[in-house]
């Protein structure tokens, strides 16, 4: 069965998943990583789409820098972070901000403005008192 709504006309072989993962740079025994967005089929240090940050595990402070806007964009379009990158994004606060923003949008969508709620309560109380 061919799904015509699929971006590639149902041919899933041409569809590739995008991952956010680490790319190792730096010298021998001195690892430094770039946080990159890459196709799953490309090798660890191979071709990538975009660099969204870097991570230096040997540096105590300031060893992690992430462009949170770009990370949020890529997560929004469906890029899957690797386990290590997910942990780093959590440390950088990107996942927490994203979760709060999504929870806030849900609350705003389900909230009833105060004036309408007060009108509904007073109308409901008045009709029950009459009957």
One digit per residue, pLDDT tens: the chain, 131 residues? Answer: 444 554 444 454 555 689 999 999 989 999 999 999 998 888 887 888 999 999 999 988 889 999 999 999 999 999 999 999 999 999 999 888 888 888 876 666 665 667 665 666 666 655 555 54
Structural fold of domain 18-111: S16 Ribosomal Protein; Chain: A; (3.30.1320)
* Cα 72 off chain centre by: 5
Supply the Cα-derived Rg of the chain in whole angstroms: 24
CA 79 to chain centre: 8
pTM for the complete prediction?
Answer: 0.66
């Amino acid at each position: 069965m061919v799904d015509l709504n699929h971006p590639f006309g149902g041919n899933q072989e041409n569809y590739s998943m995008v991952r956010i993962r680490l790319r190792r740079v730096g010298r021998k025994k001195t690892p430094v990583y770039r946080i990159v967005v890459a196709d799953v089929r490309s090798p660890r240090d191979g071709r990538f789409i975009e660099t969204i940050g870097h991570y230096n595990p040997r540096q105590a402070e300031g060893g992690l820098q992430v462009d949170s806007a770009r990370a949020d964009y890529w997560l929004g379009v469906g890029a899957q972070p690797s386990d290590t990158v997910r942990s780093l994004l959590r440390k950088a606060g990107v996942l927490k901000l994203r979760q709060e923003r999504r929870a806030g949008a849900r609350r705003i969508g389900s909230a009833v403005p105060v004036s309408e709620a007060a009108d509904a309560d007073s109308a409901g109380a008045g009709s029950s008192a009459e009957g």
